[in-house]
Structures are given as C-alpha cells and as structure tokens.
Amino acid sequence: MSENHETVAPAPGATRLNLVSDCGDCFGLCCVALAYTASADFAIDKPAGRPCPNLTGEFSCGIHRDLRAKGFQGCTVYDCFGAGQKVSQHTFKGRDWRTAPKSAAAMFEVFPVMRQLHELLWYVTEALALPKARPVHAELRTALRETEAFTELAPDELRDLDVAAHRDRVNRLLLKASELTRAEFKGKKGKDRRGADLMGARLKGADLRGANLRGALVIAADLRGADLRVADLIGADFRDALLDGADLTDAFFLTQAQLNAAKGDRATRIPSTLLRPAHWTAR
C-alpha cells in the first residue's frame, strides 16, 4: 500500500509527532506485513509477510494511479499514521527487509504494534484540541507521553508490549473527552448509537449532532445532508456511506481513512484538519 493512500492532512499537533504517513521513508511495510483477502476492497489474496505483487524494488506502488480502477480500493483507504516510516527509519535504523532479511520477521511483527500506538497518538492529540475536554487534558498529556515512550522501544520490547491493555486505558480517557464535548446532547433521543448496526440505514437529513457513533457500522448508509457536527466518530465504519452534503464540520475522532472509505461530494463539509478525498470531486 506504499504511496497509495489519499493524501492525509495532519490533526493539530500531528506533524510534530510525525503522525502523517510518508511512504518515501518507509520500506513498503503495509504492502508486505499485512494480509488481505480478495473482496470488494482487494483484487487478490495476499498472506501476511508476502510482498504485494505491485510493490516495486524501490518500495513504491507500481499501480499507484490506478489502484481503484484495478480493484485495490482498500489500499487507498489504509493509513498507518506514520508508523511505517517510524519502524523503517527509527526502530530498524534504516535497514530494509530486503538487504537485511534476518530482520524481516521482526519488522513485520512490530509494524502493526507501532501502527496502533501511532493511531492512539493521533486520537489523544485531537482530544487535546477539544476545549470542552480540558478537565482531562492533564491525564491526556500523560497518556501522550507514555504512548510516545512506547514508540521508542526496541523491536523485541515492542513485539512483547501489551498494546491492548494500554489502548484500553487511553480509550477510557478518550471516552471522557468525548462525553465532556458532547455533554449538551446527553440524554437526547437518538444520540447514543455506539456500536449500532446502521448498515444501509436511511438517515438522509438526520440530526445526528452530538451523537455517539463509536464503532457503529455505517456501511452504505444514506447520510446525505445529515448533520454530524460534534459527533464522536471513533472507529465508525463508513465504507461506501453516502455523505453528499453532510455536515461533519466539528465531528471529532474522524480520520482521513474513514473519509476515504466513504462517498461524498463538493458540498460535504469536513473538519479543517482533514482533506477532501480525490475521488469525491468526480461525483
């Protein structure tokens, strides 16, 4: 998936933390370490640890400009939050898995761990930019420092890190930040959609301001013209969701990957920290 995803704009503070993918400094780790299955998102099966046949000798994508047309839509959606270059250039000090094959297995094991840590850094950074979440900012800053420290660990330490436990602790803080930010909407009908199955739901023009859509399945839902301001969208699956004319201006914990997976248009309003996906402009 090297050089293949939509351009990612940094969240506040993300550039400082190097949370923006830079495929030029990565050894194509997402194209090798990860597995994918032939589906609407990928044209072929590929097991973990095997290089994608489209990966070039220079660690770039040979079909970068035609990924969607050739059935690799999933590649255009994926985002490592800068974990690829961190593992390539820092954890393994610029030694790539081709010239140092003995490091390959460890590098491929460490990459998904680093990706989770960088994703957490992205969310914590965004939570620190939420004014109403100020009561938990001190705890969030501590979580940020702890997570940054984990990204500096040696390969064997990263591999053995209980990232799930750390993620759970950080997520509790993110939930507090969310509740503080959405406090004025608490208790209002239809605002708690956490983990809801909204696949194909008809939500055109729906008032979802301040809604909790954490982990919701919004696949192929009709959200045209919906109001999603101040909604918590962490982990919501927006694949093929229709966002034409929707307002996500102040939605938070929304990532570029989620937007890339959806279908929007020029009238869709998005947070200033994200970019309008290239494929939206053709609609």
pLDDT at 68: 87
pLDDT beyond 60 at 257 = yes
Q: Residues 156-206: pLDDT tens digits?
A: 999 999 999 999 999 999 999 999 999 999 888 878 999 999 999 999 999
Name the band, by pLDDT with cuts 50, 70 and 90, for residue 279: confident
How many Cα atoms are found within 13 Å in the side-chain-facing hemisphere of 98?
Answer: 11
Query: Per the confidence metrics, is the pTM higher than 0.85?
Result: yes
pLDDT at 190: 74
Q: 143: which DSSP letter?
A: H
- At a CB cut-off of 8 Å and minimum separation 6, what does 41 contact? 72, 73, 74, 77
pLDDT beyond 60 at 13 = no
Mean pLDDT score, 30-56: 93
pLDDT at 282: 59
Q: Measuring CA to CA, which residue among 80, 175, 87, 177 is closest to residue 131? A: 177
Mean pLDDT score, 81-96: 96
Q: Measuring CA to CA, which residue among 110, 75, 78, 74 is closest to residue 95? A: 110
DSSP SS3 for 202: strand
